[in-house]
Amino acid sequence: MVVLLAIRYASLLLYLVMITAGWAYPVLGIGLLVIMAGVVLSGRRKKWCGSYCPRGSFLDLVMSKVSPKRPIPRFLTSRKTWAAGFALFVGLFGFQLWRAGLFGPWDGSSLMQLGLIFYRMCLVSSAVAVPLALWKNHRSWCAVCPVGNIMRA
């Protein structure tokens, strides 16, 4: 139990560092990608979503204190909502890759640009997660989270 709590707080710290310093240190975005990819490939969805996810830790340890904890609206848990959100997520990610020139040959700054893209995706999805937590339930974002839903499929 103590180890799990330590993991949750370390994950929360990683999230806060990523949100506050990711723009200046894009390598943090690459670190987040490596962690997510490792967990996704290991197939440990419940461990990721319940213990390791940095945003999940933030939502549980911080936002749960101010959330009204009402039931998550049914439309957020539907497959159509998830599919639309996932398509938007992938589209925005692809657009950022294209704008950064990462579909062509990579140069010395490509890895940092990729890290910056992951930072922006984290920041934008957090801008959705926080209002959802304040509106209904601190874990409302988790119903549409692309990573959790990919691992569920």
pLDDT at 97: 93
pLDDT at 108: 81
CA distances from 39 to 31, 66, 67, 72 (A): 13, 29, 28, 26
Q: What's the whole-model pTM score?
A: 0.87
pLDDT at 30: 87
pLDDT at 151: 74
pLDDT at 104: 84
Handedness of CA 50, 54, 56, 61 (dihedral sign): positive
How many structural domains compose the chain? 1
pLDDT at 36: 75
pLDDT at 123: 92
pLDDT at 2: 84
pLDDT at 31: 84
Spans of the chain, pLDDT less than 70: 40, 43-45, 153
CB-based contact 86:146 (threshold 8 Å): yes
- Supply the range of the domain harboring residue 52: 2-152
pLDDT at 48: 79
